[in-house]
Structure 1
């Protein structure tokens, strides 16, 4: 990815002449001739930018949680509003928790469904992710969020077939291990701490989604995975808002955190190996012991 390629993407999708650029992680921040800045990113693979654009539009349509505006996307690039960074605050954390509860309750057509206009073959970070409607959460979570990544990890030699059997046990027991049935939620899908962007406007924004219809406990479990700042304030406000909306979290939701962390841990296993494989095995054992 070069600065000139990023400028060309801005010309296509914003329609103004780009100015100075600088790198920001895996993206490029581009100044616009008329003022303001945008972010240009190249996708991880086929459909990645289209999936991200559809996800941001879906998550942002209600305004419950702020997300970057999408200027345009093609098969290779996406151009977004630049959101200046800031510092975490209790006020922003609690507002974010309330907004996330409302966003989840906007719902989705089915478990596993992609955002409107989004591709079925999507991405989570650098890993492929299938977005396909399923009859219920247990079927969706087993077939599209556990089994494909376990198979890939076994092929890579990261799990033995004996170790992989624990994931078979989890999948077989998912109807028992899951909470009481509830409608599919509108998920960000990759809500780890790095995708909660504390902004200069005093709010917490969601970025880089892997949006789909799923179980709201999955987003909450991801927030716990890598130490989101002010998490207790986020979750406290979330729990209160969900209860006030008449859709409280099911009893024992904190005990199910390992179950819902299996998906991101397995994704990290196939991408990075090492300690993530051990963490995934530990989470599977904990999920089986939770009931």
Structure 2
């Protein structure tokens, strides 16, 4: 639950952000995923959302999520919950956000979602990467900048995770060698493309229909990468309508051969899930790697 000291800190943070005195009347626990405790807090100025976790275990997670939401907002493409503050009290880290209200989807929901994502992906910078490491789930996500996507994907994504999986004895030596072999082929697999602003964890559990009938995304793992990463992630766990893909392709066509690269792009989130949850993700990774 939210104790009195944290409640006072949240009230102060909201008051400073909104320039009005905020009183918290109630904090109701809501589902917040596997890592965080989440609450809807009722105040004299309406509802807000707060996530909490172990500040010692994840000392900068919420600072990075706050920055990532601001980065997405700056693109003026997809709606996100407005970040309102973050901090730490008595060992508990917290992130304050706008509370999102669900609504019915507009008739052109999937087309609008796709076009907005395409607009976000056109936001670029000189290098693949980001201004420091952040998180995907509870795992550190490394973002050392590189001018080559193939080098970035190998050294910041695939190789660190497969070695971690090997060290934890959930991947064998053969799988490590297969990943290393694939990494040597990456420069010949991905055609040149400008770094794109990515959500980074774009699956069906990280978006909702907002009160205006349009998409709102949250829980990002932001970086500038190859845009096929976001699109491959949308195909992993279902929940995206076929219209989404047609509309995206019409708005911002993908380079030829993108269908053959879906599995390669899915390796990173599959490795994340292998490390966090184990299970059948090992077999999914093995199946993709067998082609290389």
Q: C-alpha displacement at 1:193, in angstroms?
A: 1.1
Q: C-alpha displacement at 1:238, in angstroms?
A: 1.0
Alignment of 1:11 with 2:7, yes or no, is no
Deviates more, 1:38-47 or 1:153-162: 38-47
Corresponding position of 2:95 = 78
1:241 counterpart (243, 248, 251) = 251
- Residues 138 and 8 of structure 1, relative CA distance in 2, 3 Å threshold: farther
Corresponding position of 1:23 = 29
- Residues 20 and 171 of structure 1, relative CA distance in 2, 3 Å threshold: same
Corresponding position of 2:122 = 105
* TM-score, length-scaled by structure 1: 0.89
Are the equivalent residues in 2 in contact too, given 1:30–1:37 (CA < 8 A)? yes
Displaced runs of 4+ in structure 1, greater than 4 A?
A: 87-90
Provide the rounded CA distance (Å) in 2 between the counterparts of 1:280 and 1:93. Answer: 29
* 1:22-171 mapped onto 2 (5 Å cutoff): 22-26=28-32, 27-34=38-45, 36-43=46-53, 45-74=58-87, 76-88=93-105, 90-114=107-131, 120-171=132-183
- Residues 6 and 174 of structure 1, relative CA distance in 2, 3 Å threshold: farther
Provide the rounded CA distance (Å) in 2 between the counterparts of 1:7 and 1:263. Answer: 38
- Residues 236 and 278 of structure 1, relative CA distance in 2, 3 Å threshold: same
For residue 225 of structure 1, give the secondary structure of its aligned residue in structure 2: coil
Deviates more, 1:18-27 or 1:143-152: 18-27
- Residues 209 and 162 of structure 1, relative CA distance in 2, 3 Å threshold: same
* TM-score, length-scaled by structure 2: 0.88
Larger RCO, structure (CA 8 Å, separation 6 or more): 1
Please give the per-residue CA displacement for 1:6-57, whole angstroms capped at 9, x wherever unaligned.
63452232021212221222211111112x2111112571211111111111
For residue 74 of structure 1, give the secondary structure of its aligned residue in structure 2: strand
Provide the rounded CA distance (Å) in 2 between the counterparts of 1:70 and 1:192. Answer: 20
For residue 101 of structure 1, give the secondary structure of its aligned residue in structure 2: helix
Q: C-alpha displacement at 1:194, in angstroms?
A: 0.6
Are the equivalent residues in 1 in contact too, given 2:126–2:147 (CA < 8 A)? no
Please give the per-residue CA displacement for 1:94-153, whole angstroms capped at 9, x wherever unaligned.
101000000010113421123xxxxx2311011111122112101110011101110111
- Residues 74 and 237 of structure 1, relative CA distance in 2, 3 Å threshold: same
Structure 2, unaligned runs of 5 or more: 16-21, 33-37
Are the equivalent residues in 2 in contact too, given 1:86–1:202 (CA < 8 A)? yes
- Residues 217 and 192 of structure 1, relative CA distance in 2, 3 Å threshold: same
- Residues 7 and 254 of structure 1, relative CA distance in 2, 3 Å threshold: farther
Provide the rounded CA distance (Å) in 1 between the counterparts of 2:104 and 2:218. Answer: 16
Q: Give the alignment's Cα RMSD to 1 decimal.
A: 1.7
2:262 counterpart (257, 264, 267) = 257
- Residues 146 and 12 of structure 1, relative CA distance in 2, 3 Å threshold: farther
Are the equivalent residues in 2 in contact too, given 1:92–1:204 (CA < 8 A)? yes
Aligned residues: 273
Provide the rounded CA distance (Å) in 2 between the counterparts of 1:173 and 1:77. Answer: 42
Deviates more, 1:62-71 or 1:85-94: 85-94
Q: C-alpha displacement at 1:155, in angstroms?
A: 1.1
- Residues 92 and 72 of structure 1, relative CA distance in 2, 3 Å threshold: same
